[in-house]
Structure 1
Amino acid sequence: MSVETQATAADSGAKATERFRANKSFTSEVTTERVNKLASRAIKALVDTVVEEKVTYEEYNALKAWLIQVGETGEWPLFLDVWIEHAVEEVANENRESSKGTIEGPYYVPNSPVQQTPGTLPMREDEPGTPLVLHGKVTSVDGNPLTGAKVEIWHADDLGFYSQFAPGIPEWNLRGTILTDDEGRYEIHTVQPAPYQIPTDGACGKLIDAAGWHAWRPAHLHLKVSAENHQLITTQLYFQAGEHLTDDIASAVKPELILDPQDVTDGSGREVGYDFVLATVN
């Protein structure tokens, strides 16, 4: 067994929690009234479930034990990003005039190595997977190209593991930031990722097993696309005819985000185009 495949839910969870605390800003601007409303509704939903489903003490204690384990293994970022974030993203972007977004997930790391287009993501000499070229254009909603826009990209390797969240992988493997040229164009050379399971050896895995669910996510590329005076897009791009497009455990797939790569004529891999449209900052 390779070092990479020995990644555990606890280690990944701890790293995701650490990254969240380091990268996300916390605000105290939420009013008492808003906290009261949201917390009360969430608690009421749980209480209603207990009453309507006649929850037993055995089931209640099992829930308590599971919640404690989620905290102990640091899997709250995984749990929230897999089962809750897709709804938050839909609400946040329901009125945005731009390309479609979707969830960020727990494995984003800022400040990846920057390159001018065309760029090749850092990877190992023997990186497994089919070579893939993703190219396209970044424009504003009025069609003007956005020079120097940032296209941040990260994704799992061919075994389903992310650098900095599994052992034995170089720090910035398959992570990078590509800057668009004077015409707003970008070109990224990488490898096509495979579908993967979220970590199942911890608390989230126990929930999946107990509920009879599956733990699979379809193959995807993560991206953040941004430009000065424009709204950031966080999204994922999937692959046509890929597994689990219709039953993604994270409920993050949208039809507009599905790619259809074509084989390169010289047999060197696959390529696909995808354009991004950014809304201006109000």
Structure 2
Amino acid sequence: MSTTQQSPTAAGSGASATEAFRASKERRGGANVDPERVSAVVAAILQGVHSAIREHNVTYPEFQAAKAWLMEVGETGEWPLFMDVFIEHVVEEVTSEQQQGTKGTIEGPYYLPDQARLESTCQLPRRDDEKGTPLVLEGQVRDIDGTPLAGAEVDIWHADDDGYYSGFAPQVPEGNLRGVVVTDNDGRFAIGTIQPAPYQIPTDGPTGKLIEAAGWHPWRPAHLHIMVRAEGHRTITTQLYFAGGEWLDSDVAEAVKPELVLEPQDDGSGTRRATYDFELEPA
């Protein structure tokens, strides 16, 4: 079993996640939500909270502790972290019920846009002394009717061998293990990188305090984040995991799906290779 790692501070990660989310919101545009929809959803959330208070006989000291915790989450910028770890997977499940193509899962709080554009066969940017087992992910992007999608973008990012993400850990260079890979004329790609490590979400902030108080663990299994885009098609956001990896059956973010588990094979040179194809439905 993995031991607790020295993590970047929750405040630092929270601030970076908040900044990234705000930039992403500006780029994607805000959603126009009907007031009746807002009323229905918010009323249902409040009813759920009220029911929990009644069912568990919540006391005033517990209520005040909850208020203090909510304030701390906001002050440390941890709302993106908390929402993405504990809530996003349900939103994704509901959304995916009406979608076709490759299985999606959560985006998580560590996405950063505008990374280096790379050719279809490439190596992700990395340090000269990057630790970790070499890994090659190759595959094809195609329409759900089987037509290859030339020029599709495979936007990939992941943690390093110590479980840290560039842009969210001060010791990791900007853009490390991130890139936007453009598929060739047959929609194919081959991405050289290293196999990431499992990581724990920051535990020194309010999210970590909640996890500790509840007796949960803070670990996510090793995974690759991938966002696949092609003109005229719905973007797929997903994660690919590794068979036999730690925490695969108890992901704190509950984002693992059987269809997303890779089984890399050693090619005899010490490099592990895995194949995964993506199918995109029309937008």
The two structures have a TM-score, normalised by structure 1, of 0.96
Mapped to 2, the partners of 1:89 and 1:134 lie a distance apart of 24
Offset at 1:111?
Answer: 1.0
1:205 correspondence with 2:196: no
Mapped to 1, the partners of 2:263 and 2:189 lie a distance apart of 18
Match of residue 252 from structure 1: 255
1:241 correspondence with 2:225: no
CA deviations over 1:49-95 (Å, ceiling 9, x no partner): 11111001111111111111101111000000000000111111212
Match of residue 189 from structure 2: 186
3-state SS, counterpart of residue 253 of structure 1: coil
Mapped to 2, the partners of 1:135 and 1:58 lie a distance apart of 54
Match of residue 271 from structure 1: 273
Mapped to 2, the partners of 1:215 and 1:5 lie a distance apart of 13
Query: Does the 8 A contact of 1:139 with 1:277 survive in 2?
Result: yes
In structure 1, stretches of 5+ residues that fail to align are: none
Query: Does the 8 A contact of 1:17 with 1:77 survive in 2?
Result: yes
Mapped to 1, the partners of 2:147 and 2:23 lie a distance apart of 35
Kindly provide the amino acid, as one letter, of the partner of residue 273 in structure 2: E
Equivalent of 1:48, from 51, 58, 61? Answer: 51
Mapped to 1, the partners of 2:259 and 2:158 lie a distance apart of 19
Match of residue 76 from structure 1: 79
Match of residue 88 from structure 1: 91
CA deviations over 1:76-132 (Å, ceiling 9, x no partner): 000000000001111112121100000000000011100111011000011011000
Match of residue 99 from structure 1: 102
Match of residue 24 from structure 2: 23
Q: How large is the Cα RMSD of the aligned pairs?
A: 1.2
CA deviations over 1:196-247 (Å, ceiling 9, x no partner): 1000000000000000000000000000001111110000000001111111
Offset at 1:268?
Answer: 3.0
Equivalent of 1:132, from 123, 126, 135? Answer: 135
Mapped to 1, the partners of 2:212 and 2:31 lie a distance apart of 38
In structure 2, stretches of 5+ residues that fail to align are: none
Match of residue 10 from structure 2: 9
Equivalent of 1:110, from 113, 125, 139? Answer: 113
Change beyond 3 A, Cα 1:215–1:226: same
Equivalent of 2:152, from 149, 153, 162? Answer: 149
Match of residue 280 from structure 1: 282
CA deviations over 1:180-199 (Å, ceiling 9, x no partner): 11111000000000111000
Offset at 1:6?
Answer: 5.8
